[in-house]
Amino acid sequence: MSQLVKETQRFQPGSRSVLQVGGVVEDDDEDDGPSAEDYIVNVGDLEGDDQEAGIEDDGQPPAWAVSQQRIDELRVQFRRHEKDTGSPEYQIAGITERIAYLTKHLKVHPKDFSTRRGLVALVNNRRRLLNYLSSENVERYKEVVASLGIRHKAPGNVPNKEEKYGRFPSQKAIKKHLVVKKRSASKK
């Protein structure tokens, strides 16, 4: 019961203060406090209240909003047709801007390891898309890499064992005493 606050003990701005002394309620008629109108804030009364517009205190839009606009612009630039959302070029353009945004974020917050993990996943995803695009359409691949400024080494042909090691001499020398024993064992 002691934790419950009686209605007369609660702070009520703009109302007359009520004092309870020894079971007797006394009204304090002095009106020293501010009126109730001083506590009411109307929309627009505060200066710099631009939450709806998405503008921060410095007058610039937030970084995530600028990044999202840039992603939209790049996707429009690299899409193949009006309703394209899945082509490699479209995805690479969006991922590249997200990588740039997360890189800037990690320069400010170097201990944000969950963001770093997400950044590595995005880089790997973009690399796989670039590998696919280079195998499908080399001209389009070169255009995307050049216009977005991506450093990417296109995967080459994977050589087989003979192509890779054929120029080197065989490492194992033929052991003549074993060859002779095998011949003599086969004659028996």
* 63-148: CATH class: mainly alpha
Domain boundaries, the chain: 63-148
Who's near 118: CB < 8 A, 6+ residues apart? 102
pLDDT single digits (tens) 147-176: 999 988 878 888 888 888 888 877 666 777
pLDDT given at position 8: 60
What is the pTM (predicted TM-score) of this model? 0.54
Nearest to 95 by CA among 120, 63, 132: 120
Please report the sign of the dihedral spanned by the C-alpha atoms of residue 53, residue 55, residue 57, residue 60: negative
Please state which of the ranges 44-48, 87-91, 119-123 shows the lowest mean pLDDT: 44-48
